[in-house]
Amino acid sequence: MRRIYVVGTLALFLLCGLRLQAEVSQSEQVQVGLPQMRVAEAPDKASSTEALEQRGDELRASKYYLDAVDFYRAALKKDSNNARLYNKAGIAELQMHHFDEAKQYFERSIKKDRNYDNAYNNLGVIYYHDKKYSKAISLYQKAIKITQDSASFYSNLGTAYFAKKQFEEAMAAYSHAVQLDPDVFDRVSKNGVAGHIASPDDRARWDYVLAKLWAKAGDNDRCLEALRKAMEDGYKGIDEVYKDQEFAGMRKDPRFTALMASRPLGIPE
């Protein structure tokens, strides 16, 4: 008999657009979404571990997270030492905002494989959500130590530093993320867990930090967009653009002059 349960809408942790990115790989890492309904048949105990895992992946991709967890659990009964399965079960739980359950799965994943970078990253997301930023930073750093070329790990690290108002460290981590993937901040929320910005002032500062990153990278278009957002969000230190070295080349762009002259709403003269 088919089991159909209606799942209530869950609130996304999205405030002012700041995102904690996860890796692009759909099957391995965190992706937050809205579960809708439970539709799958119960897992077949006769199915192989691989078949159960694959079905779990399919259900998670379709946002049937409750069913996905069932299949991952069934797979784990056959292979209790599979770090990847624990990580995937944790992701499905996290997508339903079952943070305690997700945390336990990620911790088990790490116990099974001390070199599993994705599990460290995803556990860091849990601690970030709980505003335990120092612990999140430590976990992101462990993930980076294992895999140095993940832009999203550096992006997560930068966001945790930013939450602690360690802006220089955040800038360095974000800069590294952009070097690895210039589009890291353009990814839609499906590729990561949305984060909190503590206040409008912090949001405006974050916009300004991004503007500095794009200016340093020579991407004038993105720099101007971020500067405009910083001004609209009321960044009080906007005149720093005339002093910060990163904007030396930007100041030669006529569009920069026009933007600063226009003073978008949010910045008083």
What does the alpha-carbon distance between residue 1 and residue 117 come to, in Å, rounded to a whole number? 39
Q: Say yes or no to pLDDT of 196 above 60.
A: no
Residue 194: pLDDT above 90? no
pLDDT band at 217; cut points 50, 70, 90:
confident
pLDDT of residue 240: 92
Domains of the chain: 5-147 (1.25.40.10), 200-262 (no CATH)
Integer CA distances (angstroms), 242 to 46, 84, 121, 250, 251, in order: 68, 49, 37, 10, 8
**Does 234 or 108 have the greater pLDDT score?**
108
Buried residues in 189-214 as b, exposed as e (16+ CB within 10 A): bebbbbbbbeeeebbbbbbbbbbbbb
Q: What is the pTM of this model?
A: 0.75
Average pLDDT over residues 131-153: 96
Q: How many residues does the chain have?
A: 269
Mean pLDDT of the chain: 83
Q: Is the predicted pLDDT of residue 232 greater than 50, yes or no?
A: yes
| Contact predicate 240/215, CB 8 Å | no
Confidence of residue 206 (pLDDT cuts 50, 70, 90): confident
What per-residue confidence (pLDDT) applies to 41? 87
